[in-house]
Structure 1
Amino acid sequence: MRVLKDIAVTVEERAPGQFFWLLIEAVDETGSDALHYRALRGASSPQRSYSTALTLGALELRRTTGADANG
């Protein structure tokens, strides 16, 4: 089983009023002072508000990391 680490939720407004959540994971870029991330998964349909997209992304993060199963 793959171990996930350093995962964050972000929200993109791809068009006015269309917000998509995105789970991103830090990747090791040895020798770089910058933080680098890759997309893990994202919303397939937009939400009408930033806060709704963020909430749905946070729920997906909990499912992805098994937080719901662990309490």
Structure 2
Amino acid sequence: MCDLALTVEEREEGQFYWVVLEAANDESQDVLVYRRVEVAARAQPNYSNALIVGAAVVRRLSAD
């Protein structure tokens, strides 16, 4: 995998989920499109925790 991105979504107040995205290469468009690769199964209590856990997932995926 390459061109990974990480975002955090607050789906409900105080429930933060990390989402790993991968760039989808589409030469016909001038915009960069991402697709979801992995999503947290459990919410984290704050943005920072979700970001830390998500970053660990990105590192794992990058090593594959």
Do the two structures share a fold, i.e. TM-score over 0.5? yes
User: In the aligned structure 2, how far is the partner of 1:56 from the partner of 1:28?
Assistant: 26
User: In the aligned structure 1, how far is the partner of 2:32 from the partner of 2:12?
Assistant: 26
Q: Structure 1 stretches (4+) deviating beyond 4 angstroms?
A: none
Higher Cα radius of gyration: 1
RMSD: 1.2
Structure 1 residue 21 and structure 2 residue 18: aligned? Answer: yes
Structure 2 gaps, min length 5: none
TM-score, normalised relative to structure 1: 0.84
> Structure 1 vs Structure 2: percent identity of aligned residues?
42
Partner of residue 36 from structure 2, selected from 36, 39, 44: 39
Number of equivalences: 64
Q: Which has the higher strand share?
A: 2
TM-score, normalised relative to structure 2: 0.92
Higher RCO (C-alpha under 8 Å, 6+ residues apart): 2
Measured against aligned partners, the alpha-carbon deviations of 1:34-60 in whole angstroms (never above 9, x if no partner) come to 110000001000001001000000001
Structure 1 gaps, min length 5: none
